[in-house]
Structure 1
Amino acid sequence: MIEIKKICKKDVPALFEDSDFWNHPFLSVSKHRLYAHSKNPNCGNDDVVLLLAYLNNELVGYMGVFIDKIILDNTEDKIGWLSTWWVHPKTKGSGIGREILDTMYSLNQGKIGISQFTPSAKRVYDKSGYFVTLKENHGIKAVLRSNLSFVVPKLLPWTSKIKKGIDTMDAVLNFGINFKLNIQKSFIKRELKNVTLEYLNIIDNEVLNIVNKFNKNHISPKDASFFEWLKAYFWVQEAPLLELTNKNKYEFSIYDKSFNVYYIKVIENKACIGFLVLQKRNHVAKLLFSYYDTTKDSKVMANIIKLQSIVQDTREIICYDESICNELRKSNVFLYKTKKDKHSIISKTFGKDNFDDITMNFGDGDCSFA
């Protein structure tokens, strides 16, 4: 018999203290992710944050959801962005995966979306008949340094056995590359001679004004409470001793050797001209949100991202901001650049199938957190 148990925001404190739940052979959520849901300013006490699936009284699957607010056709609505979905392989053919999806759809009155997904998950979403395409964002992956230690094991999993050798190859290649980047760094600094940066943990009124000025048509306009929450409750925690953690109990992001989100206030000639939200996880930087005048300041923003990436030993930059992508494409600091595509879908329940009039940032949905 299949049973689906819902965990609402109000249930989080009790689940947090349930030792049996945390000692289960696999994790359905991490403690810090669960706690973050309980602090989500857009999540009500009765909103679902997690579904637990049982087959014959055995926990065999789960689905997580991130509650957010969106604006479509000038109307604000609540949405649940599906953030995790996993079922035990032994349940294949039981229909429990579809049961989890149907339950989440029903509990949210059909108002759900997915901001990123694997090809296999996409096939299931398509088969459900619930969704339409929300956005197909086209961006860039700009590679600054050799990153074989990340790329090769993804393509050839067996090479994880020779990780030390691949790391050595990266080190050798990057020795010469770093010499080149250090020279280029000085030229970028000259172009930013009138620019001052402030690194924030909460946004001030100047930044909020910039955000409000340049968030027109955004599907999910962000406010001060969102940015304060995002900075305070990472879903991925830094774990220098990663190999000693319980990360293998969870199928999704839980720890990594380095993880941070930077709030960068950009000031030129004593005036705030922009705000960048940049995530860095290990050697990869992602531009989550950007607020600035695209007609005249895109080069400044791109230079800031390049300079920080050089200084931080970043190897790859991923960006979907069209104006900044154009500047990155023109730059000669990179080894190479490739196209990046990000697809998102949304429920037909919202009654809309053309989303050309809205902007979806890389960080919208659950993409800011992992």
Structure 2
Amino acid sequence: MIELKTLNKKALSEFISSGKYRSDAFLPITKHRAESQIRNPKADDDQTLLILAYEDEKLAGYVGCLPDFFLIDGKKFRYAWLSTLFVSSDFRGKRIAQKLLDKAFEEYSGNIAITEFTPEAESLYNKIKFFKYIQAKEGKRFYLKTDFQNIIPAKKTQLKTLKPFFKLSDFFFNSLISFKNSFQEKPDFKFEILSEIDDESKDFIIQFPSNRTADEINWFVKNPWILEGGKPDSEYLFSSYSKQFKYFWIKIFNAHNEFEASALLLLRDGHLKIPYLFANNNLQNFIDFLAYFSEKNRVKQITSYQTDLNSEIENNGNFPKIHSRNMERRYMFHEKMLSHLPLNFKPNFQDGDGDCALT
């Protein structure tokens, strides 16, 4: 007999503080991710954040929900992102994943969205036939350094034994690239690098449409799902620690000392993302800053779904990229969610919307 338990903010807090979350063979959530979920300013006290499936009092699986909302005509349309879904191999074949999903659908009246899913998860979502694709985001990945030691063995496992050779090749080529880029000068315009959004930035970004306010962005910057420098917990199957995981809030000023652009950058193990970008028409200064920042922080690659920015970087002969490729981020909405939204509603997601900026 499968028993399902739903945890809202209060229940999740008690679950974590009691230590019960560590009492099973695997973790359904980490302490720091739970604390972040509890502090989510877009979550109501009674909304479900985590659903646990038990069989004979043994944890069999779980699904995590990240509450969110759209403001439509001044009213909140509440929904949730599926952030985790896992069923232990000891309990496979008992339709536990389906039961967990059905419970999530029930808790949110079908208003469920998903993105950044694995191929296996996508196959499951297509199989149950409740989800529909909405318009995907087109992006770019810009390579600034070589990374043969990780990319080639991941694609061709039979070449793993050659990893020391690939590592040596990376050292050689990246030394040449670093020497070439070492002549990158510090931008001559004013810029600031902060750890979170300040009051001046709040006043600046309020003029742009966004699904997250400054305070909502600061929430996950101050309460990250991934901690830097720690050892990954083998009992948790999703991201929890990285050698490098850091947010940067960037402020860019023009030659007249006028605030013209701001952005949230996320640097994880040499991979830079741009979850949020708020800018007036001119992006050249931000691009120059990005080149400078990338060299100073040894960025290996940049992934961005900021269409205008990507187009300008692609056509910028001075930007220190060695290769680029197209990316696509797919989104799925539950069919009931689509029926509840206004006809032809466009969510206008930025790179970081959903749980993308949290991992």
Question: TM-score, with normalisation over the residues of structure 2?
Answer: 0.92
Report the Cα offset of residue 134 of structure 1: 2.7
Equivalent positions of 1:147-158 (< 5 A) are 147-157=147-157
In the alignment, which of 241, 262, 282 is matched to residue 255 of structure 1? 241
Separation of aligned partners in 1, 2:307 and 2:232:
39
Q: Is the 8 A contact 1:110 1:347 kept in 2?
A: yes
State the identity as a percent: 23
Who is 1:363 aligned against? Answer: 352
Who is 2:295 aligned against? Answer: 310
Report the Cα offset of residue 131 of structure 1: 2.2
Who is 2:9 aligned against? Answer: 9
Report the Cα offset of residue 126 of structure 1: 2.1
Who is 2:258 aligned against? Answer: 271
1:237 partner amino acid: L
Cα displacement string for residues 170-191 of structure 1 (whole angstroms, at most 9, x for unaligned residues) = 22221111111123x23xx4xx
RMSD value over aligned CA atoms?
2.1
Who is 1:234 aligned against? Answer: 224
Q: Is the 8 A contact 2:21 2:29 kept in 1?
A: no
Report the Cα offset of residue 314 of structure 1: 0.5
Q: Is the 8 A contact 1:301 1:324 kept in 2?
A: no
Who is 2:305 aligned against? Answer: 320
In the alignment, which of 282, 296, 304 is matched to residue 269 of structure 2? 282
Separation of aligned partners in 1, 2:179 and 2:6:
54
1:142 partner SS: strand
Alignment pair present for 1:340 and 2:340: no
Q: Is the 8 A contact 2:12 2:50 kept in 1?
A: no
Who is 2:121 aligned against? Answer: 121
2:66 partner amino acid: F
Separation of aligned partners in 2, 1:23 and 1:164:
40
Equivalent positions of 1:1-370 (< 5 A) are 1-72=1-72, 75-157=75-157, 164-183=164-183, 185-186=184-185, 189=186, 192-193=187-188, 195-215=189-209, 218=210, 220=211, 222-239=212-229, 245-268=231-254, 269-293=256-280, 295=281, 297-332=282-317, 333-350=320-337, 351=339, 352=341, 357-370=346-359
Q: Is the 8 A contact 2:24 2:58 kept in 1?
A: no
Cα displacement string for residues 136-155 of structure 1 (whole angstroms, at most 9, x for unaligned residues) = 00110000001223323432
2:239 partner amino acid: S
Q: Is the 8 A contact 1:132 1:353 kept in 2?
A: no
Separation of aligned partners in 2, 1:93 and 1:228:
41
Separation of aligned partners in 1, 2:169 and 2:23:
40
Cα distance change of structure 1 residues 162 and 254 upon mapping to structure 2, 3 Å threshold: farther
2:234 partner SS: helix
1:213 partner SS: coil
Q: Is the 8 A contact 1:207 1:274 kept in 2?
A: no
Q: Is the 8 A contact 1:66 1:81 kept in 2?
A: yes
Cα distance change of structure 1 residues 128 and 207 upon mapping to structure 2, 3 Å threshold: same
Cα displacement string for residues 51-88 of structure 1 (whole angstroms, at most 9, x for unaligned residues) = 11112322111111111122356643112111110111
Q: Is the 8 A contact 1:140 1:340 kept in 2?
A: yes
Separation of aligned partners in 1, 2:323 and 2:334:
37
Cα displacement string for residues 16-52 of structure 1 (whole angstroms, at most 9, x for unaligned residues) = 1233431432111111101101111111221111111
Cα distance change of structure 1 residues 231 and 354 upon mapping to structure 2, 3 Å threshold: same
Separation of aligned partners in 1, 2:97 and 2:258:
52
Cα distance change of structure 1 residues 106 and 159 upon mapping to structure 2, 3 Å threshold: farther
Consecutive unaligned residues of structure 1, counting only runs of 5 or more, are none
Paired residues in the alignment total: 354
Separation of aligned partners in 1, 2:95 and 2:241:
31
Separation of aligned partners in 1, 2:129 and 2:72:
21
